[in-house]
Structure 1
Amino acid sequence: MFLWEVMAYMTCSMTDRFSMIAFCTLVVIFSSLAQVVFAQDACDKITTSSQGERCSVSSKSAADLQLNISYQQLMVRLEGGNRTDPVVAAGYMAKVKESQRAWIKLRDTDCLLDAFEAEPGSSAYVTAVNNCVASMSRDRSAFLDNIASDNGSGSVIGRGSCPSSDFAQFLPAFSANAESQKRLTALAVKILVLKRTSDPGRFEPQITAETGSSLAFPLMAAMEGKTEGVEIETVDDTHMNVVDKRAGNSNIKIFNFAKKSCWSLVGIEDWSISEKELVAPGRPGMSRAENFCYQRAEGLGGLGALEQYRLTKELYEASLENYVCAAESGDPRASLSAASLSLSQMAPQLETSKLEALFKAAATTLPDGALSLSMFYCTGNSTDYDGPCQHPEQAEKELIRAVSMGSTNALNSLASSFESGDLGTKDMSRALACYQLSAGKGDQAGINNVKRLESQGTESIKASHCI
């Protein structure tokens, strides 16, 4: 399923001065995945038991993820901190694994006991179990994080002095060269990368833990003082994030730093989609690079639609940039997606001439493309236009073309324009014919409008031809 499907829907209101614009609104329909999670966070405004259950599921998943990360980071710390005695490291790691398995059994048993008074399978029961698991998992994560913490808090001690306890002064020293970055990177580093899922066109973040020494240094380009394209975020007194946008919105990296005896790099979030995660080009007429742009546009836009990551704005912007890249091929679908996203208010608006060119490319083969071009001729490059159609003749021409290409939505729009005369042609017999065609396709808007005309005493009108 494509990220953007441009559709028109009807809310007939013949009292509006420009009925076509009043009842034909350009909307963007997200993929089924995005629709599920596009709403606010699952734990916001809980007023029902079902909402509480959804919140508990979300909390449990987040706690499980953090527990897995803490466990992986501990194993990396143990392996890296006992390199001189691999036997000790192996024994320590085996004991941690045994302890973790036993703890998981204890957690799951205790949480069933915690929910004992609720009816098994009920929402209250599921919520109680999930909340218990989430709480115990968070406590376990904190416990694991404190085991051998000196091994993974950074490799500063014993290998050189700390540049500065002031992060503003530390960062330039850290980024200066590969050696300084390696020296000031923790032994256990959280790594986030985007991976392709089984759902075509979809990607999701995957988090693992790696040894700092296994990373390819340098990790970031040097920076001194305030650097364009770099944002510094304060999480708390001992945690800072460096958001590096210097390579563009499609290649953003976030570097996580933590402070103990000194600041050290403890995490890297790579929000780019690697070429190895992309499939072989599959859209005819596109070059390899344009195909990859299209896949990145779909993937990054899908992540933005979730609205659960701090880079939501940048993900949408990257999606638009990649759709525009793919649309250079003239591909109608890529062109329609780029134009739609530009008018969605979730990404920057393109120049009017560029937007028109994209809609024209989309209109070559797509009914929704022709319908969208018709709307563009009326409203222009505006998201809140409320005046008469700017170019009614061109708008009507594209509406008729969209109908001829099989668009039911265009049928309803064309019928309304014939009924009101807002696009220049006022003809009730043609309006009725278009509504009847729409109704014949089972479209509810068409059915409702036929009934409306009948209730207004227009039985004497003889339907003629729609187009």
Structure 2
Amino acid sequence: MTKNKRVRLLGFKGLTLLVCGLSSEAFAAQCPSDNFAEFVKAFSAKPEVRQAFTASPVQKLKVAVDGNKPKVIQQKLPALEAGELNVLSTKSSLILQVKLPNRLIARDQAGEVLKILTFKRSDCWVLSRVEDWSLEAVLDAQTQTTALSPEDRALHRGDMFNDLGIQVHSDSSAQLYEAALNSYLDGAQKGSVQAAFAAASISLSGQAPELATSKIFDLLITASKKVPDAGIALAGFYCDEGEHDEFRNCINPQKSLAALEGAARLGSADALIQLGESYETGKLVAKDLPRAIACYLEAEKSEHETGTRGVERLENQGVVANNSIHCL
């Protein structure tokens, strides 16, 4: 074979590698392992493995600001930016989670960082997609004129993660809900009662990981001191501890009743309705119809239709309101 023919042949082979979408290093390097978990260890530890087994082009997703709202942007890049995979460095304090069959999650405990790396399998595993859901730059852009306190920033970050989880409808939603939970817990630790209530709520919803029962109690008790809806949620949790069963008696009726009373004192008409129902049905305490109608009358002052219906129902049974008997 002449020299010119050999040059043309080598050029054709190089072109073939690019068309296949993989760097030539991927073919030169030996596959660390067919087992994904073992492969990820080598990919995380060695920059040369990351370089060799990253596709070109690679899909990139990130969150940017569109007005005052986060916007998801997707694009194909010939290569990742320098430092994009620094989250895998041994010097990084991030938590790395292997999600079989083909994903690697990098996150921190506070919800500030979330990256999802997706791999494809051919002759070896190859990084084909990077999702950067971290919202700190978005928060900075949104709060240029109005600075948020650390606890409110964490609460706002949690709300954005939760909204993205609802909008995305993909395998990433579960990770977004977990990031929302971590953000809410961060806000609660920094003093936000709204974040405490949100953390308990998203855990009880089943969207985010389930927190320990004692932790949910702590969050709801803290939030219920200032948030009426948290008091109502606490009343329900005292009864079922997150295991809904309409045929099971309330586990702790006295504490449940006290939580409803606390929410009612904070101005919740819904708590007054639930108190009325409890006295009417004997659900939490012995039946007390005069007190039940007192609760419905109090709720009616807030133009609560259920309160009006409760008053009418008891009056039809012959129950007469007594001004000396109060709901609370």
TM-score (norm 2): 0.74
Structure-2 change in CA distance of 1:367 and 1:220 (3 Å): closer
Tell me, yes or no, if structure 1 residue 267 matches structure 2 residue 129: yes
Q: For the Cα contact (< 8 Å) 2:155–2:194, is it kept in 1? A: no
Query: Which SS does the other structure have where 1:229 is aligned?
Result: strand
Task: Report deviation, 1:314.
Answer: 2.7
Segments of structure 2 that go 5 or more residues without pairing to the other structure are: 1-15, 91-95
Task: Report deviation, 1:409.
Answer: 0.6
1:201-350 equivalences under 5 Å are 203-212=70-79, 214-216=81-83, 218=85, 221=88, 229-233=97-101, 242-245=102-105, 247=107, 250=111, 251-257=114-120, 265-271=127-133, 273-279=134-140, 280=143, 288=150, 290-306=151-167, 308-350=169-211
Q: For the Cα contact (< 8 Å) 1:331–1:361, is it kept in 2? A: no
Structure-2 change in CA distance of 1:247 and 1:434 (3 Å): closer
C-alpha separation in 1, matches of 2:156 and 2:115: 17
Residues 166-197 of structure 1 show CA distances to partners (whole Å, capped at 9, x for unaligned) of: 86599567666334433444443321112345
C-alpha separation in 1, matches of 2:106 and 2:147: 30
Tell me, yes or no, if structure 1 residue 407 matches structure 2 residue 268: yes
C-alpha separation in 2, matches of 1:334 and 1:291: 8
- Count of residue pairs the alignment pairs up: 297
Task: Report deviation, 1:449.
Answer: 2.2
Query: Which SS does the other structure have where 1:212 is aligned?
Result: coil
C-alpha separation in 1, matches of 2:125 and 2:231: 57
Structure-2 change in CA distance of 1:243 and 1:404 (3 Å): same
Task: Report deviation, 1:164.
Answer: 5.1
For 2:211, the aligned partner's letter is L
Task: Report deviation, 1:155.
Answer: 2.8
Q: For the Cα contact (< 8 Å) 2:178–2:208, is it kept in 1? A: yes
Q: Which residue of 2 aligns with 1:360?
A: 221
What is the CA RMSD across the aligned residues, in angstroms?
Answer: 3.6
Task: Report deviation, 1:316.
Answer: 2.1
**Identical residues among aligned pairs (%):** 27
Task: Report deviation, 1:327.
Answer: 0.8
C-alpha separation in 1, matches of 2:215 and 2:125: 47
Structure-2 change in CA distance of 1:217 and 1:444 (3 Å): closer
C-alpha separation in 1, matches of 2:260 and 2:288: 15
C-alpha separation in 2, matches of 1:397 and 1:198: 45
Q: Which residue of 1 aligns with 2:288?
A: 427
C-alpha separation in 2, matches of 1:160 and 1:394: 66
For 1:244, the aligned partner's letter is L
- Greater mean alpha carbon deviation, residues 435-444 or residues 361-370: 435-444
Residues 36-60 of structure 1 show CA distances to partners (whole Å, capped at 9, x for unaligned) of: xxxxxxxxxxxxxxxxxxxxxxxxx
Q: Which residue of 1 aligns with 2:248?
A: 387
- Greater mean alpha carbon deviation, residues 303-312 or residues 383-392: 383-392
Residues 257-314 of structure 1 show CA distances to partners (whole Å, capped at 9, x for unaligned) of: 475x98754432223x14222245856xx5x3x4443233222222223461102223
Residues 84-123 of structure 1 show CA distances to partners (whole Å, capped at 9, x for unaligned) of: xxxxxxxxxxxxxxxxxxxxxxxxxxxxxxxxxxxxxxxx
Task: Report deviation, 1:357.
Answer: 1.6
Task: Report deviation, 1:410.
Answer: 0.7
Structure-2 change in CA distance of 1:329 and 1:384 (3 Å): farther
Residue of 448, 454, 461 corresponding to 2:320? 461
Query: Which SS does the other structure have where 1:269 is aligned?
Result: strand
C-alpha separation in 2, matches of 1:448 and 1:353: 37
Q: For the Cα contact (< 8 Å) 1:378–1:391, is it kept in 2? A: yes
Q: For the Cα contact (< 8 Å) 1:428–1:461, is it kept in 2? A: no
For 2:221, the aligned partner's letter is K
C-alpha separation in 1, matches of 2:155 and 2:59: 29
Tell me, yes or no, if structure 1 residue 447 matches structure 2 residue 308: yes
Segments of 4+ moved more than 6 angstroms = none
Q: Which residue of 2 aligns with 1:373?
A: 234
Higher relative contact order (CA 8 A, sep 6+): 1
Residues 212-234 of structure 1 show CA distances to partners (whole Å, capped at 9, x for unaligned) of: 164436567489xxxx832354x
Query: Which SS does the other structure have where 2:251 is aligned?
Result: coil
C-alpha separation in 1, matches of 2:35 and 2:166: 34
